[in-house]
Structure 1
C-alpha cells in the first residue's frame, strides 16, 4: 500500500519519488491541499500555466466524461518532456475513483497525475484505490498544528532573513487559522513589514497580522448554505475551540438567509441570472462560489422554511442555554443537508 501518514508528508514533498505516476492529495484544509499539490507540480518541473505540458480538470466535469482523464494522462507533451495532469475538487465520484484505480496501476514515466480532494474517510473508494495502486501515492493533509505550523513560520522567516522571539511566535500562532494558504500569506505579510529589523516582535504581529481564525465564521456559514456537509463539522469544531458565541453563529446564519431571500426574489420573480445577482451583491471573491451555489440551489419556498427553522432554533437555544452549542450544531448541519439535497435535485 502506497500512503504516507500526515507527519510524513513534508518529508515526501522535500524528496518526492516520481516513480509514483499518480498522487492523491486530500484533506479538509483546501489551502493546504492546493499548496502541497502546487509544490509537487513545481518539483516535477512542469509549469502549470504551460498549455502544451499541463492541463487542469474539474472532477465533476470529468465524472461525466471519464475518457477525458485517460486521454490526457496518456497524451505526450506536444513539445516533448514531462506532462502534468491536475484534477481538482475530487470526492465521491465513482468514475474517477475507478480511473484512479486503473491509472494508479500503470507506470507513466513522463506523466504526473495530481488528484486534489477534500477530506476522505478510510473507506472512500478514491482513497482506497490510490493507496492500493502500485504506482500511486496517497498524501493526507490536515490543518496546521504544532510542529507543522512552526515549520511553515520558520520557512518564511528564513527566506526573509528574520528571527522571532518566543512571545511574538505565540502571538502569531494564536492569530493564524486552519487554512494553510491564508496563514502563509499572513506570515509573508508580517515578514515584509518587519524587513530590515533585527527581529520580529509581538508589537509587529499585533500591528500587521489579521485574525485568520475569524474567517472560520464566514466559512461555516458559506459551507452550510452551499451544502458542503463533509467540510462543515471541521469548521464548527474550529469555532467551538475558538470560543465563538453560539448566538453569533445563529444570527449570522439568519442574516445570510434573509439576504439570500432578497437575491432569490430577483432570480425567481424577475428572471435575473444568478451570476448577475451575485455580482450585484459584490461578495469577497473567496465567498462568491459558495454564494452562487446557494443562490442556485435554494428556492424562495425552501428559504422561507429554513428561516422559520433557524428562528425556532434561536429561541430554543435561548431557553436551554446548556444545549446552545448542540442546537447550533444541529441548525448548521440540517441547513447543509437540505442545501445538498436541493443541489442534487437541481442537477437531476
Structure 2
C-alpha cells in the first residue's frame, strides 16, 4: 500500500519519489491540498503554465468523459520531456475512481498525475484505489494545527526578517487555520504591515489580520451548527450583502461538519468527554460554546446525513448559479433547524 500519514507528507514533498506516477492529495483544507500539490508539481520540474507539457482538468468534466484522462496521461509531451496532468475538484465520482484504479497500476514514464480531492473517508473508492495502486501515492492533508501552523508562520517571518512575541503569535494563531492559502496570505500581509519594526506585536495582528466578514462568517457557521435559528438569517444577510461569495459559506459549513465528525467519533466510540474533545481542537474562546453545543447535540449518523445534504446542495448550486444564494440560505437554515431539533431531543 502506498500512502503517507498526515505528519509524513511534508517530508515526502521535500524529497519526493517520482517512481510513483500518480499522487492523490486529499483533505478538508482545500488551500493546504492546493499548496502541497503545487509544491509537488514544482519539484517535478514542469511549468504548470506550459500548454505543451501541462494540463489541468476538472473532475466534474472527467465524469462525463473519462477517456480524456487516459488520453492526457498517456500522451507524450509535444516538445519532449516530462508531462504534468493535474485534476482538481475530485470527490465521490465513480468514473474517476475507476480510472485511478487502472492508472495507479501503470508506470507512466516521465508523466506525473496529481489529483486534488476533498476530505475522503478510508472507504472512499478514489482513496482506496490510490492506496492500493503500485505506482500511486495517497497523501492526506489536514488542517493547520500545532507545529504545522507554527512552521508556516516561522517561514513567513523568516522571509521578512521579523520576529514575534508570544502574545502576538497566540492572537495570530487564533485567527488562522481554516484554509492554508488564506492563512499564509494573512501572515504575509501582517509581515508587510510590520516591515521595519523590531518585532510583530499583538496590536499589529489586531490591526491587520481578519476582518468583519470573516468574523461574521464564523458567527453564521456557529449559529447554524448550534441551532440558533432566529439569529442566523440576519448573519446570512450581512454576509451576502457585503459581497461574500455563497461558495465560501457552503465550504465553511462543510469543513465544520467534517471536523465535527472527527470529534464526535472520539465522543461516541472512545467515550471522550465533549469538553476534552473541544479543548483538544483548541477553538477561539468565542467559538468554544457553540462547538460544545454542537458536539453534544449532533450524533455521527446525523452528521453523516447532514454532510450528504450539504454536498448535494453544493453540487446543485454549481449547476444553477442563479439559485446559489437561495440554495445556500436553505442549507444553513436546514442545518440550524436540525441542530435545534437535536438539542431539544437531548434535553428530554
Does the alignment reach a TM-score above 0.5?
A: yes
* Superposed displacement of residue 223, structure 1: 6.2
Cα contact 1:178–1:213 (8 A) shared by 2: no
* Superposed displacement of residue 94, structure 1: 1.3
2:304 alignment counterpart: none
Unaligned runs of 5+ in 2: 225-235, 237-245, 262-277, 291-313
1:34/1:217 Cα in 2 relative to 1: closer, same or farther (>3 Å)? farther
TM-score, normalised by the number of residues in structure 2:
0.69
**Deviations 1:207-263 (Å, cap 9, x if unpaired)?**
2111556544567874698699964513778999454587xxxxxxxxxxxxxxxxx
Distance between the aligned counterparts of 2:218 and 2:316, measured in 1? 14
Cα contact 1:223–1:231 (8 A) shared by 2: no
1:144/1:240 Cα in 2 relative to 1: closer, same or farther (>3 Å)? closer
In the TM superposition, 1:138-287 aligns within 5 A as: 138-210=138-210, 215-216=217-218, 222=246, 231=255, 233-234=257-258, 241-242=283-284, 243-244=286-287
Distance between the aligned counterparts of 1:299 and 1:171, measured in 2? 33
Distance between the aligned counterparts of 2:191 and 2:32, measured in 1? 20
1:260 alignment counterpart: none
1:187/1:324 Cα in 2 relative to 1: closer, same or farther (>3 Å)? farther
Cα contact 1:224–1:232 (8 A) shared by 2: no
1:130 alignment counterpart: 130
Distance between the aligned counterparts of 1:209 and 1:11, measured in 2? 29
Distance between the aligned counterparts of 1:224 and 1:290, measured in 2? 15
Q: Report the count of equivalent residues.
A: 279
1:323 alignment counterpart: 343
1:83 and 2:83 aligned: yes
In the TM superposition, 1:297-336 aligns within 5 A as: 313=337, 317=340, 323=343
- Secondary structure at the aligned position of 1:57 is classed as strand
* Superposed displacement of residue 172, structure 1: 0.7
1:213/1:85 Cα in 2 relative to 1: closer, same or farther (>3 Å)? farther
Distance between the aligned counterparts of 2:323 and 2:257, measured in 1? 21
**Deviations 1:135-189 (Å, cap 9, x if unpaired)?**
1000001111101100110111111121112111111101113111110000000
- Secondary structure at the aligned position of 1:55 is classed as strand
* Superposed displacement of residue 203, structure 1: 1.8
- Secondary structure at the aligned position of 1:35 is classed as helix
1:142/1:310 Cα in 2 relative to 1: closer, same or farther (>3 Å)? closer
1:11 and 2:11 aligned: yes
Distance between the aligned counterparts of 2:99 and 2:142, measured in 1? 25
* Superposed displacement of residue 292, structure 1: 5.4
Cα contact 1:143–1:178 (8 A) shared by 2: yes
1:54 alignment counterpart: 54
1:36 and 2:36 aligned: yes
Unaligned runs of 5+ in 1: 247-287, 328-348
1:162/1:325 Cα in 2 relative to 1: closer, same or farther (>3 Å)? farther
TM-score, normalised by the number of residues in structure 1:
0.69
Aligned Cα RMSD in Å? 3.8
2:116 alignment counterpart: 116
* Superposed displacement of residue 10, structure 1: 0.8
* Superposed displacement of residue 325, structure 1: 11
1:165/1:298 Cα in 2 relative to 1: closer, same or farther (>3 Å)? closer
* Superposed displacement of residue 193, structure 1: 1.1
- Secondary structure at the aligned position of 1:63 is classed as helix
